[in-house]
Amino acid sequence: MNDRFNGSDEPPNGSNEPPKPTDIKFSENAKKYLREVQNRMNQKGVHFPLIYPFAKRVREHAIRIGINLAHLKGLTHVNESLAKQCVKIVKWHYSKMKEIMFSLEKETNKDDLEKLKSYIASNDGKVHKRLVHVNLHIPEPILTKWMKNGDLKGIEIWKEDGKKFIGLSELKPEAD
């Protein structure tokens, strides 16, 4: 496998010993920069629950990349400039994750919307609202968003005999 990297069967250091570990340090400016980036990302990432676990580890990811880049470049320290390059890589990855997660979330919402419409239709046009939450696992904020956005045209929520229902507008009883 080594010959793939250096063209010979000999290890790169000329012996059968594994390479010595390199102690790579971060400059104070690099540390400060990474802390600032992490603080900003913590504030942004909290708004995106699906990718917050990644966002809260931006500094950690940048440090790992920095160590690898420094090692590949033969450096024993990571300065602020290299730290900024690492953060660019991490931010690129973060943006791609956001794209993927939002597209998955959008598809899931679209599927759930169709499930809800089908569920209402298969139950004579109206169902107890609680059953939508329990059986279809559609949380209240999503349902509210669909109602506000007009995604549920012809469907309304109303109270009947002290219970909340969701169903076709024409099945909604007249107000007393």
Structure confidence by residue, pLDDT tens digits, 74-90: 999 999 999 999 999 99
CA atoms of 169 and 61, how far apart (whole Å): 51
Most confident region among 12-16, 94-98, 123-127 by mean pLDDT: 123-127
Chain centroid, CA 118 distance in Å = 29
Helix (H) or strand (E) segment spanning residue 143: helix 140-149
Amino acid at 21: P
Higher pLDDT, 16 or 30: 30
* pTM of the predicted model over 0.85: no
Cα dihedral 45, 49, 53, 54, rounded to 10, equals -50
pLDDT grade for 14, boundaries at 50, 70 and 90: low
pLDDT at 13 over 70: no
d(CA 127, CA 165) in angstroms, rounded, equals 6
Averaged pLDDT for residues 111-135: 90
Rounded average pLDDT over 99-113: 77
CA separation, residue 73 to residues 11, 78, 93 (Å): 19, 10, 22
Please tell me the predicted confidence (pLDDT) of residue 2: 46
In this predicted structure, the answer to whether residue 24 has a pLDDT above a threshold of 70 is yes
Identify the CA nearest to 138 among candidates 111, 98, 171: 111
Domain ranges of the chain: 22-104, 123-171
pLDDT of 104 strictly over 50: yes
The residues with which 156 forms a beta bridge, in sequence order, are 167
